[in-house]
Amino acid sequence: MFEYHIVLLVLLGGTTLLSTVLSVANVRHGAREMRRNADWLDEFLDIDGPSEIIDYQRAATGLGLIQSWVGLALLLGALYTGVVTDAVEFLDGTGLPTVAQGVIFFFGLFVAQRTLSVPFDLYSTFVIDEQFEFNETSPRLWLRDLVVGVLVSGVILGVVAGALLVLIETFETALWVVSGWVLIVGFMLFMQVLYPRVIAPLFNDFEPIEKGDLRDRVEAVFDRAGFEAEEIYTMDASRRSADSTPTSSALAAQSESSSSTP
């Protein structure tokens, strides 16, 4: 039994440590490259000096690493203080079906994880982003996003976890592993269709790009990449952050592309 605890600690601690090392290396490499290509950034991207971007990346990455280590400490604390065991025993005593108990358990873990992330999200949005003048999110919009995100994620988690637990309860190991893999792959493909059409509009407004130079240039890029799109949209991401990040999603010949406008 002692060996299992050592393996668990090494896996969890080692994974977090590796992620930390890679994140720090990524920030340092990015800083070096931005300083080395400062003239190119100024000429083509109109970035007058990369120091602010480097500082922002350091601050955001540092906060993320602190969150990872705090999360690991709380997880180990919950495991070794008996909190998880007590929760399982409580659910077992409710007399609910096994699948329902499992769904409630995983939903509880999800709520705990989201609760942990709240102070870090607040600091990221209203301190770091505000300091670098990226933040466009009001407290009301932030709270709305949090509530809607928890509800949507909770529903998805309940459906997927419930389906997996039914497979585990119904089939032997070899069968539920294969069928579970098929379920997850199918779900991921389904989300490629569902997300841009149903979930993303809950958080942002999408407007089709009218015929013109911008649309022609975007379609030309798609053509060179062998990418087909039914429609191209602009997304109002600037009402949350002045840091614009283009996004796109597609499935086969049917796709939607959205780009944020700062």
Residue 255's pLDDT band (boundaries 50, 70, 90)?
very low
Name the β-bridge partners of 231: 256
Q: Quote the pLDDT of residue 254.
A: 40
- Dihedral, CA of residue 170, residue 172, residue 177 and residue 179, to nearest 10: -50
Report the chain's C-alpha Rg in angstroms.
23
Contact 9, 80 (CB under 8 A): no
Percent of the chain clearing pLDDT 70 (strictly above): 90
Q: pLDDT of 227-240, one tens digit each?
A: 877 778 888 766 67
Question: Which class for 103: exposed (0-12), middle (13-18), buried (19 or more C-beta within 10 A)?
Answer: buried
Between 6-10, 53-57, 211-215, the lowest mean confidence (pLDDT) is in: 211-215
| Encoded tokens for 255 | 């796709």
Q: What is the pLDDT of residues 77-113, one digit of tens each?
A: 999 999 999 999 999 999 999 999 999 999 999 999 9
